[in-house]
Amino acid sequence: MEITTTILTWAFGLAVILGFFANKTNFCTMGAVSDVVNIGDTGRMRAWVFAMGLAMLGVMGLGYLGLNDMSLVASNDTANPPYLTSTFAWPRNVLGGLLFGIGMTFGSGCGNKTLVRLGGGNIKSIFVLLAIGVMSYLMIFTNYSYTAFLSWMEPAFIDLSLKDMNDQGLGTMIAHVAGSDPQSTTPIVAAVLGGLLVLWAFLSKDFRESFDNILGGFIVAAVVVAAWWVTTGELGQNLLEEAEMMDERPFAIGAQSFTFVQPAGHLIRWIETGFSNQMLTFALLAGAGVIAGSFLYSVLFRKFKIEWFSSWGDFFTHIIGGLLMGVGGVLSMGCTIGQAVTGASTLAMGSFITFFAIVLGSALTMKIQYYKMVYEEEATFGKALVAGLADMKLLPNSLRKLDKV
């Protein structure tokens, strides 16, 4: 249990840092999408992409130094979630990402932002967190996910092992096509892709002239990489060996980093089990750490402010957002940080698909809301949807019924 305690302490400590600086820098993935859609500012979006690229480089660096074993992330037995599994469950990534993107827009922020806001005094976030928790609990601890989704999705899953690929990493796929060795190709892909993403971020004044954007992206990447070092390095490997000899294996141990839909579901399960030590998970301690870090920043810099719903409509919109995030986050096996930074740092193809689906779902929801606000009754859902898709160059302008605004 000493190793378990050490890893959980790392989870909480790193998350405190994440929560503190996410509050300080206003690192927000929904805000990033909103900035691009509404005012054309790419600064926070580039901060997100900067974190993604830097995390890839960091994981690559750990591998070069022999400080991690990312092969653990490819197994259902040693990873949580198994980003690199050879089962390419792309329908989960697409639908889950879309649902999560829609949900985080309704809920005024993703799972991590919900925790950050809670630490800063936003009472609305308690209700959003509960909604996320209810659905993530159902998706993780009952048959709901299989009955509602996986039962009809599984026929479309692609088993990459039948194509002589052990995982769905981008490096492995490129190596398969090029006829090269995956172990030597993957670090090269990580270095090139990660470097290009970092470079893309710095090409814009919106990003490089904002210290908070740079700091926020750096901190997110740093804590994600540090968590990988903890759970896939010597400590994590020793814990997995120790778990094999335990009569009752702790829940959800294994190779993992930060993702922020699981904590709420794990919290409900922890309460249900009478606060069992078996349910003191990495995700649960990470969620608590983000709240604590955000609260610490809010108190130290006098930013703590109680916020409440503006109306019953605002209340129900946030609840729907939380429910959608709970379903979408578990279905896609990660949230904005959980897939688009943590998962992407492993080069998992499913993580990139989820990233694009989240952005699409969020951006399209904002477009629809905007058109309905401007045109009111004239803007039916269908018309607003077509106009939004046309704005995003996904449909020809000739199909739109509402003039661009």
Alpha-carbon distance 22 to 74, whole Å? Answer: 29
Give the Cα-Cα-Cα angle 339, 344, 265 (nearest 5 degrees): 20
3-class SS of residue 88? strand
Q: Are the C-beta atoms of residues 17 and 119 closer than 8 Å to each other?
A: no
| pLDDT at residue 390, as a whole number | 93
Average pLDDT over residues 365-376: 92
Burial class (CB in 10 A: 0-12, 13-18, 19+), 331: buried
The answer to whether the Cα torsion of 151, 135, 339, 362 is positive or negative is positive
CA distance 112 to 15: 10
| pLDDT confidence of residue 127 | 96
> pLDDT band at residue 288, thresholds of 50, 70 and 90?
very high
- Look up tokens 């070069």; give the residue: 64
Measured distance CA(167)–CA(181) in Å, rounded: 13
Is 315's pLDDT higher than 90?
A: yes
Phi, psi of 159 (to 5 degrees): -90, 100
Other beta carbons within 10 Å of 157: 14
Q: For residues 244-271, give the mean pLDDT.
A: 90
Report the helix count and the strand count for the chain, using DSSP H and E: 18, 2
Identity of the residue numbered 149: F
What distance in Å separates the CA atoms of residue 3 and residue 238, rounded to the nearest whole number?
Answer: 8
Are the C-beta atoms of 327 and 135 separated by less than 8 Å? yes
pTM, whole model, 2 decimals? 0.95
DSSP 178: H
Average pLDDT on 253-272 reads 94
Q: What is the pLDDT of residue 377?
A: 85
For helices 43-64 and 211-232, what crossing angle results, to 10°?
A: 30
> DSSP string spanning 277-317?
GGG--HHHHHHHHHHHHHHHHHHHTT----B--SSHHHHHH
Query: Torsions phi, psi of 365, nearest 5?
Result: -60, -45
Q: State yes or no: pLDDT of 206 exceeds 90.
A: no
Tens of pLDDT along 7-40?
A: 999 999 999 999 999 999 999 999 999 999 988 8
What one-character DSSP code corresponds to residue 246? Answer: -
Q: Are 2 and 211 spatial neighbours (Cβ–Cβ below 8 Å)?
A: no
Least confident range of 124-128, 198-202, 247-251: 247-251
Residues 21 and 220: their CA atoms lie apart, in Å, by 9
Question: How many C-beta neighbours within 10 Å does residue 17 have?
Answer: 16
User: Phi and psi at residue 79, in whole multiples of 5°?
Assistant: -130, 150
pLDDT of residue 250: 84
pLDDT at 246 over 90: no
Q: Which residue has the tokens 């699981």?
A: 262
Instruction: Using the predicted structure, report yes or no on whether residue 376 has a pLDDT greater than 90.
Output: no
The rounded distance, in Å, linking the Cα atoms of 345 and 262 is 19
Residue % of the chain over a pLDDT of 90: 86
Reduced to 3 states (helix: H, G, I; strand: E, B; else coil), residue 255 is strand
Predicted confidence band of residue 1 (pLDDT cuts 50, 70, 90): low
What does the pLDDT read at residue 16?
98
**DSSP 8-state secondary structure symbol assigned to residue 81:** S
Alpha carbon distance 357, 352 (integer Å)? 9
Q: Mean pLDDT score of the chain, rounded to an integer?
A: 94
Nearest Cα residue to 74 out of 355, 353, 350 = 350
Could you tell me which residues are beta bridge partners of residue 158? 88
Q: Are 297 and 19 in contact (CB under 8 A)?
A: yes
